[in-house]
Structure 1
Amino acid sequence: MANNLWALGTAFLGKRVVAGMFVDKRAALRFISALLESGELRVVIDRTYPLSDIAAAHRYIDAGHKRGNVVIAVTS
């Protein structure tokens, strides 16, 4: 709370403040992994585009037809 008040106060002084929340990423990853393995969480992939066709992926998303994640495949 104190950080949020400080951030709000400095906004009027022309300073930039970046704030965030601490998350134990290892615990979060274990939690999400367990949900995926149990089937409680399902990843929905609508379409996959190669990196060379990223403009088409953006057009598809902007058109409002997206029903899941749009994946950009980056291969070397």
Structure 2
Amino acid sequence: MNRWRTTFRLYGEDAFFEERRGKSSTGRPSEKELSAKKKLKKAEARIKYLEAENELLKKLEELERQARKRS
């Protein structure tokens, strides 16, 4: 809490919305404008991730369903 208070006193409320840990920090997403090609690539990667997540959840539901039948 003391560090947060000091940061607030020195830099104000905006300090909590800015990345202050260095140039190579990955703590917050970049706000740079992406090209259409990069946006598409990023969207495709997100879709692939979400599809894999959905498959995992389906498998988990099936395993839970099978466990209930055995009980």
TM range (shorter): under 0.3
Give TM-score scaled by structure 2 length: 0.25
Q: Which has the higher helix share?
A: 2
Q: Which has the higher contact order (CA 8 A, sep 6+)?
A: 1
Q: Which has the higher strand share?
A: 1
Give TM-score scaled by structure 1 length: 0.24
